[in-house]
Amino acid sequence: MRESIGRFKYKNRREYANYYVQELLNTCGGAVNTWNIDLLIPIPLHKSRRRKRGFNQAELIAKKLGKELGIPVCTDSLLRIKKTSPQKELNDQERRSNLKNAFQVVNNHVKFKRVLLIDDIYTTGSTIDAAAAVLLEHGAEKVYFLSISIGRGY
């Protein structure tokens, strides 16, 4: 998985998203349907990282997953406003500190009550925790998440 996700993110192998989405549907589709999700939100990249990479891998997954599940995807309600260091280079404590105040909800509200965050890798949960906290502060009642892989914590 490490090599596959590396090629997906850094070698522009966007076609891998189709496989990842099918696997998410096979393993988690039933659970997602029971959550009554209003909106999918991909974990955003900082604009400089997105510009460098050319795309947001979580957004690509979210859009394909949303289409399959019939759930709208919003890519502009949650922003990464802090340019953070890559999480893979940090330990647990550094990851949490790195993401402090990294996300912002646009328009200071969340219209949808049940949100599903989408990311590529879940390692320590720091990214999901930081994004979910901001969404909950701004009106979301429940925040769920899916990732295509679970990494090793430090």
- Note the pTM of the prediction, 2 decimals: 0.88
Q: Splitting the chain (154 residues) into consecutive groups of 10 residues, what average pLDDT does each group show?
A: 90 94 96 95 91 93 97 92 75 75 77 92 90 93 95 61
Scanning the chain, the segments in alpha helix (DSSP H) are 2-10, 16-34, 47-53, 57-69, 92-98, 126-137
Phi, psi of 94 (to 5 degrees): -65, -35
